[in-house]
Amino acid sequence: MPPRPHPIQGRGLEALLRDLGANLVRGGPEAFPTRCFPTGLAEIDRALGGGFPRGRVSEVVGPSCCGRTSLALALLARVTAQGELAVVVDRPDAFDVVSAASAGVDLERVLWVRPLGLGAALRSVEHVLQAGGFPLVLLDLAGEETAAPHIPSSAWPRLRKATAAAAAALVLLGRRRLAGTYADLALELDAAAARFESGPDWLAGLDGHVRLARSRAGLAQADVAVRWRTGGRHAA
């Protein structure tokens, strides 16, 4: 008995292709967005291919005192200076207002949300992404005294989809990477060394490293040395 032709072959295939018309596209790697939010730190922006991508999930992780908050505030300062609005979803209630103002953040353009639980934090992020108009959302999960938070795996595809729909940059701060393959970009920061100046003694800053650990866009691995400065707050 001769084999029956597959129904999708021949004229069936032609009819299917004709019906699909413009909906039919060739598969391939996902296009990486060209719109980014630079941090204002030239070497880091260069390593990131321009900055933190919009419409994507990014992670900034590292141990305490590594400079991840300083990097986040630099990004926040840059974005608000451009006249954009930003949201800080601050799970550990650690956002220091004076520090942010000193870093150049336009506080009027920041919506500060301090949820009491992880679930409320994730729902807050979804709310602001669905609202639109907030092109930068910082989700701070870097509680100093807590272990890595347990986030249901179903949360990440939802957040990623909402981020893409809002064309916003969702940046997670944490001790370690949480989003896995749902993050398009991950920066890992190493523990930084304190830098003191003498006469009289004052904390001048931290010396650390920022490493590009993951890039869906295929950016080359990079390791950037960064010197954070206190600005001599107590020097006088």
Among 37, 156, 182, 228, binds other proteins (CB under 8 A): 228
Among 14, 16, 24, 93, binds other proteins (CB under 8 A): 93
Closest by alpha carbon to 224, among 205, 210, 207?
210
Least distance from other proteins to the Cβ atom of residue 226, Å: 8
Residue 146 near other proteins by CB under 8 A: no
Least distance from other proteins to the Cβ atom of residue 124, Å: 6
Least distance from other proteins to the Cβ atom of residue 211, Å: 17
Q: Count the neighbouring beta carbons within 10 Å of the beta carbon of residue 93.
A: 11
Residue 137 near other proteins by CB under 8 A: no
CB-wise, 78 or 160, nearer to other proteins?
78
CA–CA dist 88, 3 (Å, integer): 63
Strand-pair category, 52-53 with 36-37: antiparallel
Tell me the one-letter amino acid at 92.
Answer: P
Among 33, 94, 118, 217, binds other proteins (CB under 8 A): 94
Residue 212 near other proteins by CB under 8 A: no
Among 120, 213, 219, 222, binds other proteins (CB under 8 A): 120
Least distance from other proteins to the Cβ atom of residue 236, Å: 10
CA–CA dist 4, 201 (Å, integer): 87
Among 200, 218, 220, 225, binds other proteins (CB under 8 A): 200
SS3 50: coil
Total residues contacting other proteins by CB under 8 A comes to 78
**Distances from the Cα of 26 to the Cα of 8, 53, 195, angstroms:** 18, 24, 54
Tokens of 192: 């930084």
Residue 167 near other proteins by CB under 8 A: no
Residues in Cβ contact with 23 at an 8 Å cutoff, skipping those fewer than 6 apart? none
Q: Of residues 22-81, which lie at the interface with other proteins (CB under 8 A)? A: 39-41, 63-70, 72-74, 77-78, 80-81
Identify the bridge partners of residue 215 per DSSP, sorted by sequence position.
Answer: 185
